[in-house]
Amino acid sequence: MSPETKNKLKLSFLLLITALPVSLATMSFKSAIENGDIAATSNKGHLINPPADISALDMRDSEGSPAFRTFEEELATLDDTEEYEIKPWLLVFVTAQDCAASCMERIHYLQQLHIALGKNIKRVRRYYVNASGVPFDTQTASTLREEYPSMGITYSDAAILEGNMLKAGAQLSLADQDYVILIDPVGNVMMYYTDEHSAEDIMTDLETLLKYSSLG
């Protein structure tokens, strides 16, 4: 186990003993993965174990500032860990290509998948990552926000993102492939999906994760 993973587990335990028992569900789910109870039988996506940190995606807002802080950075801003606010699960669409018809179709069905979560809809948030290395132009960003108001929009650099994910054991190729990445409420990049995965595949894994964890 890497030092980063050990540190995150220690911090999860810190939350657990400071009146956030929901952390236990996530830890139990991770234990089930490690023991093969879940990963070997039911996950459809590519599992990243141990998970990468959300900072590996290098997601930035339109002004170039990091869109997310690491879990450790979040805790460092608090006077008391009980002040920590649980974040939603993130369903992140990543592409380095211009968003043509197939891309828009992918975004649309992720929106429909999100809606289909019903009572769990607020436990998940969607993001679009433009991995071309620069923010969207104003017109494209405005169009996306108008059509998908509940979807966050960020950008990243494909080479940086791929390099960081490769260190975590996930080999991505944004030159010829788009991805959907699943991130838990404490910033663990847990799974990724290629164009070959269906919406049903993603839904199956997401519903399993939400079932095993009350986080988010």
Cβ of 127: how many Cβ atoms within 10 Å? 20
Question: How far is 212 from 1, CA to CA, in rounded Å?
Answer: 22
Q: How many residues does the chain have?
A: 216
- pLDDT tens digits, one per residue of 133-172: 999 888 888 989 999 999 999 999 999 999 999 999 999 9
Q: What is the DSSP letter of 136?
A: P
Question: How far is 164 from 151, CA to CA, in rounded Å?
Answer: 24
Report all structural domains of the chain as residue ranges with CATH numbers, in order of start: 3-212 (3.40.30.10)
**Residue recorded with tokens 């108001």:** 149
- Mean pLDDT, the chain, integer: 82
The two beta strands, 124-130 and 89-95, are parallel
**Residue recorded with tokens 């998940």:** 124
| Res 97 pLDDT > 50 | yes
What pLDDT, on the 0 to 100 scale, is given for residue 103?
82
What number is the average pLDDT over the span 99-122? 90
Structure pTM?
A: 0.82
| Res 22 pLDDT > 90 | no
| Res 26 pLDDT > 50 | no
